[in-house]
Copies of this chain bind each other. A is one copy, B any other.
Amino acid sequence: MSPKYVYFFGNGSADGRTDMKHLLGGKGANLAEMTNLGIPVPPGFTITTEVCDAYYKNNQQYPEKLAGEITNNLSRLEKLMGAKLGDPENPLLVSVRSGAAASMPGMMDTVLNLGLNPDAVKGIIRKTSNERFAWDAYRRFIAMFGDVAMGVERHEFEEILEKCKKKARVKSDTELAAEHLKCVVDEFKAIYKKRTREPFPDDPKAQLDKAIKAVFASWNNPRAIKYRQLYDIKGLLGTAVNVQAMVFGNMGNHSATGVCFTRNPSTGENKFYGEFLINAQGEDVVAGIRTPEPIENLEKEMPAVYKELVQYKNILENHFKDVQDIEFTIQENRLFMLQTRTGKRTARAAVKIAVDMVKEGLIDKKTAISRIDPGQLDQLLHPMFDPRAKRVVVAVGLPASPGAATGRVVFSAEDAEKFVEKKEKVILVRKETSPEDIGGMHVSQGILTTRGGMTSHAAVVARGMGKCCVAGCGLLNIDYKNQNFKVNGRVVKKGDYISIDGSSGEVMLGQVDTIEPRLSGDFATLMEWANEIRNLKIRTNADTPEDAKRARELGAEGIGLCRTEHMFFGENRIDFVRQMILAAPDVKNLKIKISHLENELAKATNDKAAVLRKELAQAKTELKEPLNLYTSALKKLLPIQRCDFEKIFKVMDGLPVTVRLLDPPLHEFLPQEEASQKDIAKKMKIGLKEVLEKVTALHELNPMLGHRGCRLGITYPEIYDMQVQAIIEAACNMKKKGIVVYPEIMLPIISTEKEFSALKDNVLRIANDVMQKKGIQVEYMVGTMIELPRAALIADKIAKHAEFFSFGTNDLTQMTFGFSRDDVSSFVPYYIEKGILEKDPFQVLDLEGAGQLVEIGIKKGRSTRPDLKVGICGEHGGDPQTIAFCHTIGMNYVSCSPFRVPIARLAAAQATLQQPVSRATV
């Protein structure tokens, strides 16, 4: 048996249902559902998406039985309407519309008023006594049909219309009288014939046939194909075609057309919302020539119809249990519902509607949670530009950290601080930022860079600070020397105002008004419901007590990543850090030399031993001075670090705090500019040349793959020892004051088992020393970041020693792909544009590659330590898709920027709803 190709709807019953979207398209399925609900829908029939599929698969031929089914359904429609296609007495007019399972607004074609020909026009005039209406409908039909079905360019019709208006000396279409329109019809037909080399078809069946084919053809027009690529629409059979009796809102003052929402889509308020136009067609509302009236005015104009409309919208919302976006037409006091669909809404409205609907008993909490797009919540957590403000966009970069910011342009961190001292707001504009700029970034309203991607230093730090950032804006040409930047031929100088939108990447000249975010009570309610549902814990990445406090207020259940390096940059500490770093390589090199000499000595069997002993003694003497500088600097840093940790532990009272020991390569702490280098030379009482030599010696060709992370811990053990001492001392001191502390000491960039076991031995030794001296025991853990492929591959071995894993998916993505997140902006956008990559892997975790390693890491890790605590602390920890994955593979927690904590809470709850039991538990 061949499948059913055509589904009828009308007269209170329909062949289809709302859950048949895949077959009937969204529009067709909802028309059927509305019909079944007893709502007045102009009757018609839907040709299924399977026909479209078969049409393309079978060399653009329809299935055999389709023609018969169309004929049968058309007869049924004609009977129901008491009118016939092409009947000069009582002509039936129909619309032919596309409608796929996914919304593709404006991408595919529609033909209205089909069925008109000279005879039918006369029939309409007879029936409506409205000659102008009839001719107007006819000229619209010819133009639409000519454009859609036959490819006559729309502007040719428009030009004729313009000429005609000029001749008639009128400005708008509506001023054209029937005789003018008649003339337009003739000229439209002439141009149609000229372009298509055939006369405009009078036979309505032929019209219908061509229109259906045109709609199917529009499924594969380049715009539609592109649209599906862009919006990642996949797995659809094609478009359905809806053939539906026309109703007219432009048949006089008892006719109207409108669109409405069952609730306010902007605020979420449970109040009927919409607008309508008397004597108008749908396209008039969209065109904006006349200003539509608010929906409540309809009550005065047509009270009965309004009552009916309210009744239907209630039925629809109750039925679909969500806000409906409805199109309706009133034809001579008779209400027809043309379309219903789920209404798009702002984040604010989404939250309010979800919470209200639970309170109203319409939906349950779980449904409320699943309704909110976690990504959209971002809007609620950052300042926004006033949507009514005027924007002069001069460039668009990457939307690196959401929010809106306005301020004066500065080109250095120092200037940022100077301007802010004078109470000026600033935007820090840099080619790229480095850890030296942290202070300046902190005081700025926003950060704008010309290089780097979504996870460049600027982007990561800005997100951590909850500060607006636009990154990699390559169009800007910064001239540091002259303190300006050029963009599109304009020059913007230091002190000029600009505005940046971190959610869209837009850069605007001048000041643009902003709106501050508000966390309403509904939002808090929703977050509590999310807590009831989710399994994943949500932690935050926070390096300062301020960030920690903010995150805790937003619901963070611990710190998943506290980076200690940012603590090294304060005014009172960077000098000691630099003293330490300038001495450290000498210490290390001399230690290698000593160790090497000791080894040689062990191998030496003869006189060589005496020479080696002398060299050994000399090396030990040489070591003294740098070792002294190095250790004295560390001694000065110890109380400062301890104090940092005390403050953070206090804020996080009762919650775990994962502290990552020093991670970046040491050269990041040294100034690259000569002025600062001179400054250091002076402070350290050494020559500039010596400073330069050390800076050069520390330079690396690929710092991301260089001497960093635990490699520093191995080669400069005293640095990690100092940090561990500071952490445990702080924990002891806080515990003494009644604060509940759970420090988790995290070793970064581990690649071998021995690195971890050697460093862990040191941590335990120092921690025991401190606790013994203090006479206090604190619970603490020692774990690692898994951020190198090798660590994931040997996770079973590492987990023998490590008590927790935190997946550092930024670095893991870099190494797995071989992508430097600071450099990919030269090709990743191109990759996405060309469809080589679907998404930026630094924003959404690449499940196929990096995700595979994460799964391998967890599986192997738990094979040797079943109770291994596992989390993620890369930027991906705040991405909903990634969070769902983390839930699925059985992580214990995700950690993200403070401002993404609510998003993560919601995403985690949704993940639990979608898959109540994680894969790892099964």
Interface string of A787-805 (1 = CB under 8 A from B): 1111001100000000000
| Stretch of A111-119, A333-341, A421-429, A700-708 lying at the B interface | A700-708
Q: Which residues of B contact A589 (CB under 8 A)?
A: 474
A361 within 8 A of B: no
Chain B residue nearest to A706 in the complex (CB):
B823
Contact (Cβ within 8 A) A853 B793: yes
| Stretch of A136-144, A316-324, A811-819 lying at the B interface | A811-819
A738 within 8 A of B: no
Contact (Cβ within 8 A) A702 B833: no
Chain B residue nearest to A106 in the complex (CB):
B605
A393 within 8 A of B: no
Q: Which residues of B contact A599 (CB under 8 A)?
A: 226, 230, 833
Chain B residue nearest to A814 in the complex (CB):
B705
| Stretch of A57-65, A752-760, A896-904 lying at the B interface | A752-760
Q: Which residues of B contact A819 (CB under 8 A)?
A: 705, 751
Contact (Cβ within 8 A) A603 B820: no
Q: Which residues of B contact A811 (CB under 8 A)?
A: 818
The docked-state distance in angstroms from the alpha carbon of A323 to that of B142 is 103
A836 within 8 A of B: yes
Q: Which residues of B contact A850 (CB under 8 A)?
A: 790
The docked-state distance in angstroms from the alpha carbon of A852 to that of B822 is 29
A749 within 8 A of B: yes
A869 within 8 A of B: no
A222 within 8 A of B: yes
The docked-state distance in angstroms from the alpha carbon of A815 to that of B705 is 8
The docked-state distance in angstroms from the alpha carbon of A827 to that of B595 is 14
A834 within 8 A of B: yes
Contact (Cβ within 8 A) B711 A827: yes
Q: Which residues of B contact A818 (CB under 8 A)?
A: 704-705, 749, 751, 787-788, 790, 811, 815
Interface string of A223-265 (1 = CB under 8 A from B): 1001100100000000000000000000000000000000000
A357 within 8 A of B: no
- Assuming the contacts A703-B701, A706-B823, A789-B849, asked whether A817 and B605 have C-beta atoms less than 8 A apart, the reply is no
Q: Which residues of B contact A702 (CB under 8 A)?
A: 702-705, 820, 822-823
Q: Which residues of B contact A704 (CB under 8 A)?
A: 701-702, 705, 818, 820
Contact (Cβ within 8 A) A833 B596: yes
The docked-state distance in angstroms from the alpha carbon of A700 to that of B820 is 9
Contact (Cβ within 8 A) B834 A752: no
Shortest Cβ distance from A163 into chain B, in angstroms?
20
Contact (Cβ within 8 A) A705 B820: yes
Interface string of A588-622 (1 = CB under 8 A from B): 11011001101100110100000000000000000
The docked-state distance in angstroms from the alpha carbon of A591 to that of B827 is 12
Contact (Cβ within 8 A) A603 B815: no
Q: Which residues of B contact A227 (CB under 8 A)?
A: 602-603
A639 within 8 A of B: no
A520 within 8 A of B: no
Q: Which of A705-738 contact B (CB under 8 A)?
A: 705-707, 711, 714-715
Q: Which of A199-237 contact B (CB under 8 A)?
A: 222-223, 226-227, 230
Q: Which of A866-885 contact B (CB under 8 A)?
A: none
Q: Which residues of B contact A758 (CB under 8 A)?
A: 834, 836
Q: Which residues of B contact A837 (CB under 8 A)?
A: 752, 754
Chain B residue nearest to A819 in the complex (CB):
B705
The docked-state distance in angstroms from the alpha carbon of A585 to that of B474 is 12
- Assuming the contacts A230-B599, A830-B715, asked whether A793 and B852 have C-beta atoms less than 8 A apart, the reply is yes
Chain B residue nearest to A592 in the complex (CB):
B830
Q: Which residues of B contact A789 (CB under 8 A)?
A: 789, 815-816, 849, 853
The docked-state distance in angstroms from the alpha carbon of A589 to that of B787 is 32
Shortest Cβ distance from A12 into chain B, in angstroms?
35
Residue from A105, A227, A751 whose CB has the most chain B CB atoms within 10 Å:
A751
A826 within 8 A of B: yes
Chain B residue nearest to A704 in the complex (CB):
B702
Shortest Cβ distance from A259 into chain B, in angstroms?
16
Interface string of A738-754 (1 = CB under 8 A from B): 00000000000101101
A829 within 8 A of B: yes
- Assuming the contacts A752-B837, A793-B816, A836-B758, asked whether A830 and B714 have C-beta atoms less than 8 A apart, the reply is yes
Q: Which residues of B contact A830 (CB under 8 A)?
A: 588, 591-592, 595, 714-715
The docked-state distance in angstroms from the alpha carbon of A585 to that of B830 is 12
The docked-state distance in angstroms from the alpha carbon of A715 to that of B826 is 9
With beta carbons under 8 angstroms apart, the residue of B815, B820, B834 that contacts A706 is: B820
Contact (Cβ within 8 A) A816 B834: no
A848 within 8 A of B: yes
The docked-state distance in angstroms from the alpha carbon of A588 to that of B703 is 27
Q: Which residues of B contact A707 (CB under 8 A)?
A: 823-824, 826-827
Contact (Cβ within 8 A) B815 A592: no
The docked-state distance in angstroms from the alpha carbon of A10 to that of B605 is 32
Residue from A602, A755, A824 whose CB has the most chain B CB atoms within 10 Å:
A602
Shortest Cβ distance from A131 into chain B, in angstroms?
32
Q: Which of A458-479 contact B (CB under 8 A)?
A: 474
A835 within 8 A of B: yes
The docked-state distance in angstroms from the alpha carbon of A853 to that of B846 is 18
Chain B residue nearest to A831 in the complex (CB):
B714
Chain B residue nearest to A711 in the complex (CB):
B827
With beta carbons under 8 angstroms apart, the residue of B790, B820, B846 that contacts A701 is: B820
Q: Which residues of B contact A793 (CB under 8 A)?
A: 816, 848-849, 852-853
Q: Which residues of B contact A833 (CB under 8 A)?
A: 592, 595-596, 599
- Assuming the contacts A223-B602, A592-B833, A819-B705, asked whether A714 and B754 have C-beta atoms less than 8 A apart, the reply is no
The docked-state distance in angstroms from the alpha carbon of A591 to that of B830 is 9
Q: Which residues of B contact A817 (CB under 8 A)?
A: 751, 788, 790
The docked-state distance in angstroms from the alpha carbon of A215 to that of B599 is 22
Q: Which residues of B contact A588 (CB under 8 A)?
A: 826, 830
Q: Which residues of B contact A474 (CB under 8 A)?
A: 589
- Assuming the contacts A474-B589, A705-B702, A831-B714, asked whether A230 and B602 have C-beta atoms less than 8 A apart, the reply is yes
Contact (Cβ within 8 A) A834 B794: no
Chain B residue nearest to A797 in the complex (CB):
B848
Interface string of A53-74 (1 = CB under 8 A from B): 0000000000000000000000
Chain B residue nearest to A835 in the complex (CB):
B754
Chain B residue nearest to A788 in the complex (CB):
B818
The docked-state distance in angstroms from the alpha carbon of A752 to that of B711 is 30
Chain B residue nearest to A585 in the complex (CB):
B826
Shortest Cβ distance from A800 into chain B, in angstroms?
14
Shortest Cβ distance from A282 into chain B, in angstroms?
15
Shortest Cβ distance from A803 into chain B, in angstroms?
21
The docked-state distance in angstroms from the alpha carbon of A595 to that of B229 is 13
Chain B residue nearest to A789 in the complex (CB):
B789
Residue from A226, A848, A849 whose CB has the most chain B CB atoms within 10 Å:
A849
Chain B residue nearest to A790 in the complex (CB):
B849
Chain A residues at the B interface, C-beta cutoff of 8 Å? 105-106, 222-223, 226-227, 230, 432, 474, 585, 588-589, 591-592, 595-596, 598-599, 602-603, 605, 700-707, 711, 714-715, 749, 751-752, 754-755, 758, 787-790, 793-794, 811, 814-820, 822-824, 826-827, 829-831, 833-837, 846, 848-850, 852-853
- Cβ-closest 6 pairs across A and B: A705-B820, A226-B602, A702-B820, A790-B849, A789-B789, A106-B605
Known: A706-B820, A749-B818. 8 other contacts (CB 8 A): A106-B605, A700-B822, A707-B823, A714-B831, A715-B827, A751-B819, A789-B789, A815-B816
29 contacts between A and B (CB under 8 A): A106-B605, A222-B602, A226-B602, A230-B602, A474-B589, A592-B830, A595-B830, A700-B822, A700-B823, A701-B703, A702-B702, A702-B823, A703-B820, A704-B705, A705-B823, A706-B824, A706-B826, A711-B827, A711-B831, A751-B817, A751-B818, A752-B837, A788-B817, A793-B816, A793-B848, A794-B848, A794-B852, A811-B818, A815-B818
